[in-house]
A and B are shown apart, each in its own frame.
Chain A
Amino acid sequence: MSEELSFTLDGRRVPFQDGQTIMTAALAAGFYIPHLCFNPEFTPHGSCRVCLVKINGRMQASCTTPAAAGQTVLSEIEEVREMRRGILQMLFVEGNHVCPACEKSGACQLQAVAYYAGMLAPHYTHFYPRRPVDASHPDALIDFNRCILCELCVRASRDVDGKNVFAVQGRGIKAHLVVNTPSGKLGATDFNITDKAAQVCPTGTILRKHSGYEIPIGQRLYDRKPINVVGDVAALAVSKGGRRHD
């Protein structure tokens, strides 16, 4: 019987199988690496960079880097944490993330990851972009102010729902989420609130209408325990038997 493949994550041994990334192996072993654009049900994207870890001395995204035997992976060291905080701070100032009044607050993956990473303030100057809300759909609302361009809704709508409702348009700082209709309005699409694309947003961008704040403070997903203990929407999906959509 051959010896089990493994690498170390912050000094702890993590077994893996061929084809797994550092992220998937770590999550499977019960170790949390913060992430936003990663969702085990979808092909890794590597765009948010929040899952940066130091692998054999080099900074790399753990969601896209294949696990290899003998790797030394460092995640919870100050050098990595500082970079993560910087990335999160830039995400917060690039959009309009008003956590105190947001209905996703307490159950928001972005907010929970920021808490986990020790981000106490946005630090950078806010961009304050003007992004009108799209409430044209009877059951769903898109608040573009909170979009971090993780493209999970794009992937879910394309790969699972087969609808291609969403896309990212523009490049660099001008990149933004759009709805694939001539009017650009969600109400003009065949989007349904039960679609996969409606379930995967890690922020408060795609929301079910008329139901905000229904869960009392104290009972929301991250009110009592942090995200590394509770897990995120993606991890919860896997634990409930969610499958990967390649």
Chain B
Amino acid sequence: MKKRTLSLLLAGALTLSLAACGGGAAESKAPEESKAVESAAPAESQAPAESAAPESKSVKVGLICIGDENDQGYTYNFIRGKEAATDALAAEGINVEWVVKYNIGEDSSCEDANIECAEEGCQLVINNSYGFEPFMLKVVDDYPEVEFVGCTNQGSWNDGKDNTHNAFANIYEGRYLAGVAGGMKLQQMIDAGEITAEEAVIGYVGAFPYAEVISGYTAFFLGARSVCPSVTMKVKYVNSWSNATEESNAAIALADEGCKLISQHSDNTTPATAAESKGVFHCGYNNDMTGIAPKASLLSCRIDWAPYFTYIIKAVANGESFDQDWTGGYGDNAIVVTDLNEAIAAPGTAEKMAEVEKGLADGSIQVFDTKTFTVGGAELTQAFALDTDGDFAPDSEEAVFDGAYHESYYQSAPYFAMIIDGITEE
């Protein structure tokens, strides 16, 4: 959006200066949209038939991105997944030809991009942003033979169509794990007498009061509390997925209110730098932030899209169907935590994390174990997962069973949206 505003301004100024010259021939051209960095999708493909192994297959895949890899965050994470999946599939004799559309808006340009990919022969089109889905869904009926995926959204898998899919990973598991590292640090500070037990407060910079965010910070909090029982958490919303200044302001305000550890569900690295400037610790999201905040950032967690991409592309190559709603967890290698910042992490953190990781992978640790938290002072015994009547209040599918709330069990997009005791929203 900023780029567009800038280009409007430039175009306007240009026109202005020309028109002001009083000439009859004063005009200009607005660069419609400075989709400046549009880098190359690997176009070469189609291994010559005679040189290829007999079962060599080729798949053409469209990937529609809201940004480009320069964001070092959200889209960069998808591009990493794309590259890893390409390598993994090449080893199995599946050749992937990618058509990547960068810097697509959550508007009708997304519809155009989906049409373009489908028309150019993509057998599979992946939309990487939540806001793409409504525009993607306008196109799917025209191309029944093409598979469409709306990542992180929830409107496709149960829409009654065969060629629409959703996917998300259990990022709450990654957040739980990051919470363990953060909690270890807080406990170390308590044990060393640097802070009292009551002063162990986490500040969380959230994008929106939205199930995906609430589920994430609850998991982070529970991870921290599993190793630091006295911890509490404050949440501040910036009401934007990406607003570097507001994210920084929120982190600074939280630190000023006494938070000793900052974490975030927002796109920028500014909460990390704000934490560093305030002398508190930080756990990041989407990308390693230890480089820019070496004295604050403990680690980050992110989704690894490569296993999913590999799975669906292989399915398409073999002419098989694949899950309409896919959820990947630790066991699927879909969740990654970045390297622990050993210089500042509490001793023993790596060992503890390895233990928790194992527990998450084999299912012996449930993130939303109902014995570990209360809502309104009482243990959670009943909660619906899905909304079926469109009022945005869950009304079907019991999520609480076997002693845990089952997040991302009925659909890949998170639905845990309760405020548990110990967390306050501001």
Is B truly associated with A?
no
